[in-house]
Structure 1
Amino acid sequence: MAKNKFHDGPGPSQRQLRVGELIRRTLSEVLARGDVHDPELNRLSITVGEVRVSPDLKVATVYALPLGGQGQDEAVSLLARNKAELRRMVAKKLALKFAPDLRFRLDETFDRMDDTRRMFSQDAVRRDLDE
């Protein structure tokens, strides 16, 4: 069977999930309190939806979105610009052997949910579901 680039293993381990959630909570708290020394970043209200951690726990991909969805690219670039400070804060808060490298991506979960709702509201789809 051919490997799928999205599902090429058994999925994340419990440790990966636990560390990802701890990083997510820590970043959410730091961003909500405005602890970063960047006034441009602190003026934004950013939601951290998910953090996926690599199997070796050395890379954490952070999926974030500014509240209201405005200025998405700016928010991701501001997070990336402050990566070192955010990484230090995560390392200080969590007792990990190595602080993971943080990579920031736009959280598109809400867009996908809207697309799914739109699809389910189409007459042809509703008709098929009702049968």
Structure 2
Amino acid sequence: MCAKRFQSGSGPSQRQLRVAEVIRHRLAEVLSRGEVHDPDLSRMSITVSEVRTSADLQHATVFVMPLGGRDADIALKALRRNKGELRHLVAAGMRLRFAPDLKFELDKTFDAMDNARRMFADPRVKADVEAPDDPEAAGDTDPDSDLDRDLDRGDAV
């Protein structure tokens, strides 16, 4: 029964998801209130978009992005510099045996969404997306498609 947890390809457990969400909320609260006394962090608004925890809940990867995406390197350095204090503040609001070790990474999903948005704004892609799916409406005169349609209806011999 325990072996199921260690199968490859399985996603995070419910406990991992709950703990990750509590860490995310607590970090967002700590950063928004300015509980960390760091001049770089106090002048930035940082979004904590996602937290992923290890199976043993001892490590947590925190995905962050400063508001507007500006000064991302400065924000990341400041978070890493204050990792111990942030870990202590997060652990204070949780009931876990161990406070998870925090690893901060920049969130790349915002960049991926911008790239997808730009791609769908391209006129060639718009024309391709808006093209009708029905081959007859597109002017397809393939004789095999007529035979297939007749076979589907049971009209062909």
TM over 0.5: yes
> C-alpha separation between the residues in 2 aligned to 1:128 and 1:83?
48
**2:96: which partner in 1?**
96
Residues 1:56 and 2:56 aligned together = yes
Q: Percent of pairs identical after alignment?
A: 59
TM-score (norm 1): 0.90
> C-alpha separation between the residues in 1 aligned to 2:29 and 2:64?
13
> C-alpha separation between the residues in 1 aligned to 2:9 and 2:103?
21
Give the greater-gyration-radius structure (CA).
Answer: 2
> C-alpha separation between the residues in 2 aligned to 1:122 and 1:16?
40
Does structure 1 conserve the Cα–Cα contact (< 8 Å) formed by 2:30 and 2:36?
Answer: yes
Query: What is the letter of the counterpart of residue 98 of structure 2?
Result: F
Map of 1:1-131 to 2, 5 A cutoff? 8-131=8-131
Q: Where in structure 1 do 4 or more consecutive aligned residues deviate above 6 Å?
A: none
Q: Which runs of 5+ in 1 are unaligned?
A: 1-7
* CA deviation profile, 1:68-111 (whole Å, cap 9, x unmatched): 11100010010000000000011110111111100000011111
Q: RMSD of aligned C-alpha atoms?
A: 1.0
TM-score (norm 2): 0.76
Count of aligned residue pairs for this structure pair: 124
* CA deviation profile, 1:16-52 (whole Å, cap 9, x unmatched): 1111111000000000000002122111111101111
> C-alpha separation between the residues in 2 aligned to 1:9 and 1:33?
38
**2:5: which partner in 1?**
none
